Structure formats: structure tokens, C-alpha cells
Amino acid sequence: MGRAYDSVTPELRDWLADQKVFFVGTAPSDGGHVNVSPKGLDTFAVVDEHTVAYLDLTGSGIETIAHVRDNGRITLMFCAFEGPAQIVRIQGRGRFLLATDPAATPFVERFPEYPGARAVIVVEVDRVATSCGYGVPEMRFVGERDRLIRWAEAKGEAMPEYWSSKNAQSIDGLPGIA
């Protein structure tokens, strides 16, 4: 059954590295909409036993950055779709660094270079919890989708304009990328 930890153990670090998808959950402080975003590609890293990070690629919204800016609360959830059933939730306090910020460099260097990388979300881990995952279906990984990469490549130098128009605020009006 499930266990709780105050850090990412070496065994969990290895298991997390094998997962192909994870989900990010955040919410604003004052009501508003709870957001859950799926993440894929090679965008997650365990920095150390108390810190994880992921590369935030440009998408249609800016909810995670807006919510982290608002209150820092964040949960990352990983589900085993192959192999033994397991769910891991990483809970903590998040912050974001724009991918172009020099302070982001040590984190950005952990990931492949992706067009449209707008930020790094860094999470100071408060709690790591496992649970059985017996209700999660078993599925086989076929491959990564490349549509987001192709879209970002096509956007090219117009990406900052996209951020200004589409990522300036959350659906609840919280500030996103200025």
C-alpha cells in the first residue's frame, strides 16, 4: 500500500525517470479554477532529494505559472501505465524561472533543447506519497507526439508575441507572462 516520504528516494527517482507522462495540479488562492495539465516528452528531472523541476513548454494557457506566482502550491502526479501498478504524488512549493533567465540555466541544461520552452518550474518538495494505482489501466507506450514541437518551430521568432497575447493572464485573470 501507499507510503509518504519527505523527499524523493533513490528508488522513486529511478521510477520517475521511467514514466512517460505526468500531471501538474495547481489552483489560485481565491476560488477560481483548479488546473490539471498533462506533461510529456523528456521534460522532468529530479534535481536532488528535495527538489524537482520540469521544462514548461509553450501551450494554449498559462495556468500553472499564474497559480505558482499566486501561491506556490503545486502537485505533480505520475501513474504507472506499464509494469507494476503505482501512483506517485510530489507535493510542494513551486516557482518559475523564464527559460531565458540566467538563473534558469542550471535547470534548462538538464533537458533536451525544445522550441517554445518558456520557463522552468522548480518545486521544493514537501511530501512524496505513493499509492497502489490498481485502478489505472495498463497501456503501452507507442511514441512521443511531435505536433507541439512542430507548432513551436513554425511559430519561431513570433513566440514572444504569442506569449504576450495568449499567455499574459490565466483564465481567472491572474498574471502569467508579462
Supply the CATH number for residue 22's domain. 2.30.110.10
Q: Cell 501505465 sits at which residue? A: 81
Residue 171 inside a domain? The answer is no
Residue 176 lies in a domain: no
For residue 178, tell me if it sits in a domain.
no
Would you say residue 177 lies in a domain? no
User: Does residue 173 lie in a domain region?
Assistant: no
What's the domain range around 105?
Answer: 4-166
* Rounded Cα gap, residues 16 and 18, in angstroms: 5
Pairwise CA distance, residues 76 & 125, whole Å: 10
Number of domains the chain contains: 1
Write the pLDDT tens digit of every residue in 14-32.
999 999 999 999 999 999 9
DSSP characters for 5-67? ESS--HHHHHHHHH-S-EEEEE--SSS---EEEEE-SS-EEEEETTEEEEEEE--S--HHHHH
pTM, rounded to two decimals: 0.96
Give the pLDDT of residue 4: 98
